[in-house]
Structure 1
């Protein structure tokens, strides 16, 4: 009798706890192999980079004629290609020019700032000058607007003004109508005859005035002085009477005029004097005093 012996292998069944770590380890190893393989392939396939920049010239239209001395290499012949005035700069040249521009910029900026500051200073000076001129103009305007102070009109001031006016009239050039109306001191050719006539005129006026002495001048310690211009015609009649400087007493001034009228007519002007004047104006100072009476000079 043959007996069969059955040998069955003894397999140990793995639990779920043992399978998970093994699966993680296998996955990590697989991914590491993929990363290493990809890195080697990428390094071998990358072309070597050129250390020098490549300049490319674009051809707008090819030509059959070949240039003997070409500035650039191109696929086709082109006359005048690559001969631009401003050629494109390489990256290295651009970097150099940018650095140089950065160095020059502060200098230019400083110069511009200096010019700007100078212009501002000049503007400030002009503004100050204009302001000063405006202040001066305003002051002048204020001075001009201030009303002028007129002196108070008094008897003495009035007499002074009248005397000045009489002197201006005597010194002024006579008009055509008044060419032969002259003051005694203006007579030139016959001034000695005019002076003698004036003395005779004074004597007659003083005599008449003392005989008809004004009552206003009879007061004790009275004194009055006036200046009067009397114009005498060629026939000795009165041409004009004018008070050159008032005595300040209107009654006395009128009394002096009355004395002149009472003394008229005067002697006719001498014939030689008539050749030079038609009217002789005699200017005299009349003095009234209670001691000396009437005196003209």
Structure 2
């Protein structure tokens, strides 16, 4: 009887110890996702038109060389304006040389220009004659009231726009982008141009006919 009681006690103690250990593991240990305290800053890539020995304090783009920003635009802009992919004014991917004009076409163009100048001169002469007051006649040409009111309204709007522009705060703006030198900028920009070229060559004809364009 004593041996059986000892076995039951050991079994009960083992069960109690197992439950206690599992309880500590379940309720005492918790897991959580690691949260990043800071995000890695990202910058767009462009090609710098000029090289600068001094790096800018705040770069707007990555490029193959340092470049200090300057210019007259209200927003940051890359050094070279990017071309929109998949958009072209011609259907063929092959550029053809311009054909020289024939002597007949040149003569026709000159004749058309002469007629245009003559017509413009005659129109100005007729307009001046209509507004001229002769010494012999008693006719007097006066500006209608509606025209005077329209001119006064336009002058008032112009004065208001000038005053509003004068009250604008002066700010430093950019035309040439401030770029920071990066070893990979030239390589990545080359891949970007290659992807755009392949996309332009393989753009669907149906989408081109419907003028469905996009940008990367």
| Both proteins in one fold, TM over 0.5 | no
Which range, TM-score by smaller chain? under 0.3
The structure richer in strand per residue is 1
TM-score with structure 2 setting the length: 0.25
**Structure of higher RCO (CA pairs closer than 8 Å, 6+ residues apart):** 2
TM-score with structure 1 setting the length: 0.19
